[in-house]
Amino acid sequence: MTLLDKFEPLQQARERLRGLGIDPFNVVVEKILSPTEAIVDGRRVILAGTNNYLGLTFHPECIAAAVRAVEEEGCGTTGSRMANGNYADHLALEREFAQFYDKPYSVVFSAGYLANLALLSTLPGADDVILIDADCHASIYDGCKMSAAEVIRFRHNDVDDLDKRLRRLKDRARRTLVVVEGIYSMFGDTAPLKAIAEVKDRYGAYLMVDEAHSLGVLGERGRGLAEAEGVEDRVDFIVGTFSKSLGAIGGYCVSPHRVLDTLRYAARPYIFTASASPAQIASTRVALRLLRDGGELRRRLWANAERFYNGLKALGCRLGPQLSPVIPVILGESREESLAVWKELLEGGVYVNLVMPPATPDHRCLLRCSMSAAHTPEQIDTLLQVFAKVFSAHGMAAD
């Protein structure tokens, strides 16, 4: 065995995908036309697998702010905030996040991934415990790996299992960080946050919620699941990303605890990477305002989700447990058939994400579809027609 031999199976799997003519995990977007359309493989397709929930990536005000920032502040920051200083816009965005959530402390990171690494690698130390929902995102698992804390999983969305595990921890429950997500990225289901907050309070544990997919999507003001469930004052750390509803790149955390501000001096994923580029920060500042005032965008997003979800249901598709803008169409265990279905959808002008185990919550493959406020009802109907055709051809549709 050499250093490189272990990659042989992966290389062979890639070769097999190449035989298919297109690799679903390495698609080339030749030209992006709008938040909902692109040219992929020489073909115009409707994008129904992005995280562009509010459709803000091409918003003229976001673009104008980004252009201005590039012209005035340059393309990159060339270093971390600890070494190279804080740009005024980074601080302004932190103030705006704090105001938006009505929390005293806020930090922005260069990615949502890094926000999770920063919090989880630094906050819980040796002798502490991280208690995560089993379906948490890879960035949460990776943050746990970087931490010296003990890491325990509880069954997905199972409050009784969480309760049981906190009980087993006895005194250590008070040095435990419970981690859940607002909307889970693969199945689109939400955490039972009220019950979770109640349980963690009973044991004196702390709660962190990753609102990556729920920011701008849930809650009257778009603050996410904690707002929608009325438990914002019981959440200790809210993390999120600019890369979905805000249409840029970056991450953030807000908290009532001053410790969050102190993490700037301790969290390696904050210190040892360059701060976000001026354009990212500038467009995110505008997008956050649009999101806050985005009641109409949210209404459109949910109307679109409902139209697509009900259409797929009428086709007899197996869907996730709950209506949300993240809509998984659950396929079978056969990778070959799933690949064929995905490819035929693409050939029909529909781009969705193909997800295979172990990235799925169970042993089945799924098509992760997602809706945007920017989709038109006509686009959704086109999507449904293509799904109907492909699923019928595979005997997967209801008659």
Ligand X SMILES: Cc1ncc(COP(=O)(O)O)c(C=O)c1O
Dist. CA 266–CA 241, nearest whole Å: 21
243 near ligand X, rule: CB under 6 A: yes
Choose from other proteins, ligand X, none: what does 210 bind? Cβ within 5-8 Å by kind: ligand X
DSSP structural state of residue 219: S
* Among positions 33, 64, 82, 134, the unique one binding other proteins when judged by CB under 8 A: 134
Residue-wise burial string across 181-192, b where 16 or more C-beta atoms lie within 10 A, e elsewhere? bbbbbbbbbbbb
Q: Given the residues 213, 243, 283, 324, select the one marked as catalytic.
A: 213
Smallest gap from Cβ 176 to other proteins, in A, equals: 11
Smallest gap from Cβ 119 to ligand X, in A, equals: 11
CA angle at residue 369 from 228 to 342, to 5 degrees?
A: 165
153 near other proteins, rule: CB under 8 A: yes
Choose from ligand X, other proteins, none: what does 44 bind? Cβ within 5-8 Å by kind: none
Read off φ and ψ for residue 208, nearest 5 degrees: -120, 130
Query: Residue 10 CB: number of other CB atoms within 10 A?
Result: 9
Q: Given the residues 103, 137, 200, 244, select the one marked as catalytic.
A: 244
Q: Interface mask (CB under 6 A) for ligand X, residues 165-204, using x and -?
A: ----------------x---x-------------------
Sequence-distant (≥ 6) Cβ neighbours of residue 13 within 8 angstroms:
none
Helix (H) or strand (E) holding 354: strand 353-355
Q: Which of residues 244-263 bind ligand X (CB under 6 A)?
A: 251
142 near other proteins, rule: CB under 8 A: no
Dist. CA 71–CA 212, nearest whole Å: 30
CA distances from 62 to 70, 223, 276, 296, 298 (A): 12, 20, 16, 18, 18
* Among positions 20, 362, 377, 393, the unique one binding other proteins when judged by CB under 8 A: 362
**Residue 190, both tokens:** 């939400």
Q: Choose between 201 and 333: whose C-beta lies nearer to other proteins.
A: 333
* Among positions 21, 42, 60, 358, the unique one binding other proteins when judged by CB under 8 A: 358
Choose from ligand X, other proteins, none: what does 91 bind? Cβ within 5-8 Å by kind: none
334 near other proteins, rule: CB under 8 A: no
Which one of the spans 1-9, 161-169, 210-218, 222-230 is the region binding ligand X (CB under 6 A)? 210-218
Helix (H) or strand (E) holding 289: helix 278-292
**Residue 292 buriedness (CB in 10 A; 0-12 / 13-18 / 19+):** middle
212 near ligand X, rule: CB under 6 A: yes
Look up 213 and say whether it is catalytic: yes
**Residue 332, both tokens:** 């079978």
DSSP structural state of residue 122: H
* Among positions 77, 116, 176, 275, the unique one binding ligand X when judged by CB under 6 A: 116
Residue number with the shortest CB distance to ligand X? 112
**Chain positions contacting ligand X, by CB under 6 A:** 111-113, 116, 137, 139, 181, 185, 210, 212-213, 241, 243, 251
Active site residues: 185, 213, 244
**Chain positions contacting other proteins, by CB under 8 A:** 134, 144, 150-153, 155, 164-165, 168-170, 357-358, 362-363
